[in-house]
Structure 1
Amino acid sequence: MMLDDGDASDAELIGRARDGDRAAFGALVERHYDFVHRVAWRWSGNRTDAEDIAQEVCVRMGRSIRGWRGEGAFSTWLYAMTLNAARDMARKSARETVKTQAYGSEVLTLVQASDDADELAEDLWQCVRRLPDKRREAVLLVYGEGLTHAATADAMAISEATVSWHIHEAKKRLKVLMRQAGEV
């Protein structure tokens, strides 16, 4: 008896995908794509970059699904994979920026107008993006995704106390950054 992919649990889909079932893999991607995209968008702050990161995660998931050991939650594995892909893209972007500047070109950015509340939230996320990587990731997972400190620690492969310290340090730095931006 074949289960409908919509009724199958993640564990069932993962098992079938590991055995080469493309439909099961497609159902996994479809089920988790919005989650991956949301994490990527919060990390990057750019819709196009978030789409690129999410697509890269899907490719990586396809390459890695057979090696997934199932020791933790699938979502934790996806968090880690998404954050790694985002970091990789940031490093690549930094290299490209250096190349671009070396040739005397300037990079243009687009700014979208929004409501005051949306603008304040976006200003806050812009400041979050200026934090060091580990602090930014801790804030993204705890406040952006609503994870507990324990779940964040699993996703980041660090201790829960270290997550708490990153959050504490991030809050102090965000107060300064928001004041500089004239928001607080």
Structure 2
Amino acid sequence: MMLSDETLALAAGRGDRAAYAALLERHYDRIFGLCWRLTGHQADAEDLAQDICASLPLKLRGWRNEARLTTWLYRVAVNAAHDRRRRAASHARAAGGWGDWERGRQADHTAAERDQDWLRGAMGCLPDDLRDTVALILGEGLSQAEAGEVLGIPEGTVAWRMSEVKKRLRAVAQEEAR
């Protein structure tokens, strides 16, 4: 008999290592995939997913089973990504020449890679709330209602954010075309 995520999470929160291992086996790929979409880089996603998994046993102690476990895990991942972005922003302010190096690296890519880099860069210009919304909707395939639940905002706000993302990305592309 297969135990539910909620049963495993409650047991893991009480220190059951086997329950924790079962949860990781079920959800690691989901956590890693969202981390990749939130960071845009495999190495950063691996680090972030590892940090999340390392902190989960303690976090599960506080899980109250008020939302689906997957929704809660998405929220944990989004919060961890926010924390990492804040730290990265502090480091970026200290490292002056990184932008020049990144532009040089992008110049060596093929056309398809350049398109991916452009999208990643354009998404990086978006505020965190818009980027998080896109990662959940397009990257994870969540509905607007599900993304709203993860982000703690109304579904209508999710719809507005997606519209705003499209508008901003079009503006970036038009500006670059000039």
Paired AA for residue 45 in structure 2: A
The alignment-based identity, stated in percent, is 37
Q: Distance in 2 between matches of 1:177 and 1:158?
A: 26
The within-5 A match list for 1:8-157 is: 8-101=3-96, 106-107=97-98, 108-109=101-102, 111=106, 113=109, 116=112, 119-157=114-152
Question: What amino acid maps onto 1:149 in structure 2?
Answer: Q
Q: C-alpha distance in 1, partners of 2:71/2:117?
A: 26
- Determine helix, strand or coil for the equivalent of 1:124: helix
State the one-letter code of the partner of 2:17.
Answer: R
SS at match of 1:8: coil
Give the distance between the partners of 2:76 and 2:111, measured in 1 at CA. 33
Identify unmatched segments of 5+ residues in structure 2: none
Name the stretch that deviates more: 161-170 or 23-32: 23-32
Q: Confirm or deny: 8 A CA contact 1:124 1:178 kept in the other structure.
A: no
The Cα shift of 1:122 comes to 4.7
Instruction: Supply the RMSD in Å over aligned alpha carbons.
Output: 2.1
Bigger shift: 124-133 or 153-162?
A: 124-133
Q: Secondary structure at the match of 2:95?
A: helix
Instruction: Specify the code of the residue in structure 2 equivalent to 1:156.
Output: L
Checking the alignment, whether the CA contact within 8 Å between 1:42 and 1:125 is kept in structure 2 is no
> Which residue identity is paired with 2:11?
R
Deviations 1:14-64 (A, max 9, x none): 132122111211221222111111111111111111111111111221211
CA distance in 2, matches of 1:95, 1:146: 31
Residue aligned with 1:20, SS: coil
Residues 120 and 98 of structure 1: CA distance in aligned 2, closer, same or farther (over 3 Å): closer
Q: Any idea what the Cα deviations from partners look like across 1:76-135, whole Å, max 9, x if unmatched? A: 11111111111111111111222334xxxx33445584573x653453243223211111
TM-score (norm 2): 0.86
Which amino acid in 2 is paired with 1:29?
L
> Residue 44 of structure 1 contacts residue 129 of structure 1 at CA under 8 Å; is this kept in 2?
no
Residues matched between the structures, number = 172
Which is further off, 10-19 or 146-155? Answer: 10-19
Higher helix share: 2
5+ long unaligned stretches in structure 1 = none
Within 2, Cα distance between the matches of 1:114 and 1:70? 47
